[in-house]
Structure 1
Amino acid sequence: MKSYVLIIMKPDALETELVEPIIKRFIEHDFRIEMIGYKSVSDDLILTHYAHVVEKLGESFKKMAITAFAGKAMMPIILSQDGENAIGNARELTGATDPARAEPGTIRGDLGTDSFDNADREARCCNNLIHCSDSNEALLTELKLWFAPETYQLFASLIQVLN
């Protein structure tokens, strides 16, 4: 049996040319690439993706998210791994959301250069390189946002069969 996870390379990963080293880390941990996308992010896409954070943090986060992501490129990547815990394993490999608090050996711990403290002082989103789905429900929602309908249908059916 295999399980799936969605990661999204954020603009700072693309701009600092860290996509290849990040993908290499996943491959070294027995993940396989199933599909790679590339999106120029619209206001609607990023606000839908971060709707739960906008709801929690309010209008200031909404403005910061638009500034940080809208009009920039992001790369959604569907990964698979043998076993039932691709999401948990990917999140462990990715590290804490705040790169300054991420453990050494994680992607954000080794490659991240920003912190929530710096981002808060500068009233911007933290540059933390990568997004990683946190549940199968989030994975399905995010696949629908970031990929074409036929890709979503293919992977949604695989994920639902596995659940």
Structure 2
Amino acid sequence: MTDASSTQRTLVLVKPDGVRRGLAGEVLRRIEAKGYTLVAVELRRADEALLVEHYAEHAGKPFVGPLVEMMASGPVLAVVAEGHRVVEGFRSLAGATDPTLAVPGTIRGDFGRAWGRPVIENLVHGSDSPESAAREIALWFPGL
């Protein structure tokens, strides 16, 4: 029996590096293979205002400028996924933030690597808590 209170939504972003490398479909495949439901999917270019708001918790940190620049460099696949404990489930699918340390079998472990650029290009973003997910989904998909 499923506990409805543990059904969650999370925001997943396939970052421009993942889209450029043709990995958006693989990310979606893994989300669905895990048994999560795709609630919304949109390929879009994120403007600076959206990205600054998305990364607001990191405002003033030195990596924010280069991160916003990288995220605005190309299309982003924005996804809302839903399921039992999907926030932590997707983060497990994604793997460690540093792709060099991400274990094989995870998205970053299988497809990521360090490129020696100012910002880690690690293919995907996943909300880190149900509260962050709610805030991020409202930014990227205000109609949900």
Could you tell me how far apart the structure 2 residues matched to 1:25 and 1:135 are? Answer: 20
Q: What is aligned with 1:54?
A: 59
Q: Secondary structure at the match of 1:3?
A: strand
Could you tell me how far apart the structure 2 residues matched to 1:113 and 1:62 are? Answer: 20
Q: How far off is 1:104 after superposition?
A: 1.1
CA distances 1:59-95 after superposition (whole Å, capped 9, x unpaired): xx233123212252111101112x3x11111111110
Q: Larger Cα Rg: Structure 1 or Structure 2?
A: 1
Q: Secondary structure at the match of 1:99?
A: coil
Could you tell me how far apart the structure 1 residues matched to 2:40 and 2:68 are? Answer: 26
Q: Are 2:99 and 1:105 equivalent residues in the alignment?
A: no
Unaligned segments of structure 1, at least 5 residues: 152-163
Counterpart mapping for 1:1-163 below 5 A: 1=4, 2-55=7-60, 57-58=61-62, 61-70=63-72, 72-81=74-83, 83=84, 85-114=85-114, 118-119=116-117, 124-147=118-141, 149-151=142-144
| TM-score of the pair, normalised by structure 2 | 0.88
Higher RCO, 1 vs 2 (CA within 8 Å, ≥6 residues apart): 2
Unaligned segments of structure 2, at least 5 residues: none
Q: How far off is 1:138 after superposition?
A: 0.5
CA distances 1:43-70 after superposition (whole Å, capped 9, x unpaired): 1111111122233x23xx2331232122
Could you tell me how far apart the structure 1 residues matched to 2:73 and 2:49 are? Answer: 11
Could you tell me how far apart the structure 2 residues matched to 1:65 and 1:43 are? Answer: 11
Q: Secondary structure at the match of 1:93?
A: helix
Taking only aligned residues, the RMSD between alpha carbons, in angstroms, comes to 1.6
Higher fraction of helix: 1
Alpha carbons of 1:71 and 1:99: their partners in 2 closer, same or farther (altered >3 Å)? closer
Could you tell me how far apart the structure 1 residues matched to 2:112 and 2:126 are? Answer: 15
Moved over 4 A (4+): none
Letter in 1 for 2:33: E
- % same residue: 29
| TM-score of the pair, normalised by structure 1 | 0.78
Letter in 2 for 1:63: G
Letter in 2 for 1:105: G
Between the two proteins, the alignment pairs up a number of residues equal to: 139
